[in-house]
Amino acid sequence: MLSERGDIYGSPEPQSPETNLGEHEEFEADLDETELVHPIERINDLVEIETFPDRIAIHVLDQYQNNDDEDSSQDGEKQTPRLTISELRSMFRPAFEVIARRVEENPNIKTITALSWIVGKAPTMMKKMGFTIDRPKLTQSEISKEFPHEITWRLKHPDKKPRVIASAHVDREDFLAQYLTKKEEKEPG
């Protein structure tokens, strides 16, 4: 994410299909086709939520990509805006509030898992947002199985260094306590 996606899973974690890395073009085409059928909800100017049958993906819009590559832009090219940890937290809060309403509606979700390069890049932020870091750095094999979107990103951006993908979780009750906002009911009158 700060460009591609971060996935929030309900428990139990879904099983990802096996990915054959030798078939990148076919995989990428299949991914693009399946993405078209999932509803996308715009949360704010920076974040969208995409709902899949087994997960909810948070997408951060491309213009807010926050890479470590200092020399990633050519002379005269517009520099990508960098976001602070505080800005990131503010950006995700509305998305987490939407997800909290969906978690509340589904009592079968016991754990919320975040799987993203943002978890790898900003573990302190994730901890401040209530998450516990499970795996600070996924292996290439784990990324292929659990986060195939990263493989697609790496194919589209071969000039960029690979991002660290990590996972974190938060229990249902803690997530709802922090992010569920109840709308005030108007009294009839």
DSSP letter for each residue of 114-182: EEEHHHHH-HHHHHHTT-EEEESS--HHHHHHH-HHHHHHHHH-TTSPPPPPEEEEEEHHHHHHHH--P
pLDDT tier at 122, thresholds 50, 70, 90: confident
Q: In this predicted model, what pLDDT tens digit does every residue of 96-121 receive, in sequence order?
A: 998 999 899 988 889 998 888 888 88
Q: How confident is the model at residue 173 (pLDDT cuts 50, 70, 90)?
A: very high
Position with higher pLDDT, 32 vs 105: 105
- pLDDT over threshold 90, residue 37: no
Burial class of residue 141 in the structure, from the number of CB atoms within 10 Å of its CB (0-12 exposed, 13-18 middle, 19+ buried): exposed
More confident residue, 89 or 104: 104
- For the entire predicted model, the pTM comes to 0.64
What's the CA gap between 150 and 164, in Å, rounded?
10
Count the alpha carbons within 13 Å of 56 in the hemisphere toward its beta carbon: 20
Mean per-residue pLDDT for 15-19? 37
Mean pLDDT, all residues of the chain: 71
pLDDT at 78 exceeding the cut of 70: no
For residue 62, the model assigns a pLDDT of 55
What band does 169 get if pLDDT is binned at 50, 70 and 90? very high
Output the pLDDT for position 183: 61
Most confident by average pLDDT, 39-48, 96-105, 179-188? 96-105
Tell me, what's the pLDDT at 160? 85
Question: According to the model, what pLDDT value does residue 127 have?
Answer: 93
Output the pLDDT for position 172: 94
**Omega before 12 cis (within 30°)?**
yes
